[in-house]
Amino acid sequence: MQIYLFHLHDTATKVISSKTVYELLKISHFSNLENLRLFNIPQCFDIDRFFKYIKKNKEIKSALDFSSEISDEYKKQLEAIVDEIAEDESHDYKVPWICFSGIDYTSFGKIKTLVSRQL
């Protein structure tokens, strides 16, 4: 089995745009990724579209670490996704690691526990 890894770190705020998720999903081999790690993600990243993709692709493990400069509005959007994950009992997809400044400590603990169970 091959492991495909996509890792984007410090330059993320310079290369991620509002169309990034759309463009990634167009790549034919993107669905073969087993690990995706994005760090310093700006708020233009379409998290809703990406979360829908994660729930469809049952195999991808993802770690999403957002920029410290995201707005309170975007943080609310992320919190809603974290809450949805925490409340879902089936998890028929790989729970993504989601981290951002200001994340609720309890929610972060739930995500951490769920991700740890998948390892």
Q: What is the pLDDT of residues 25-36, one digit of tens each?
A: 787 777 777 888
Instruction: Indicate whether 5 pLDDT > 70.
Output: no
Burial level of 101, CB count in 10 A (0-12/13-18/19+)?
A: exposed
Question: What does the chain look like in DSSP terms, one character per residue?
Answer: ----EEEE-TTHHHH--TTHHHHHHHSTTGGG-SEEEEEEE-TTS-HHHHHHHHHH-TT-EEEEEE-TT--HHHHHHHHHHHHHHHH-S---SPPPEEE-TT--HHHHHHHHHHHHHH-
Instruction: Indicate whether 73 pLDDT > 90.
Output: yes
What does the mean pLDDT of the chain come to? 83
Provide mean pLDDT across the span 5-15.
52
Q: Could you read off the pLDDT of 27-71 as tens digits, one per residue?
A: 777 777 788 888 888 899 999 999 999 998 888 889 999 999 999
Residue 3: alpha-carbon gap to chain centroid: 18
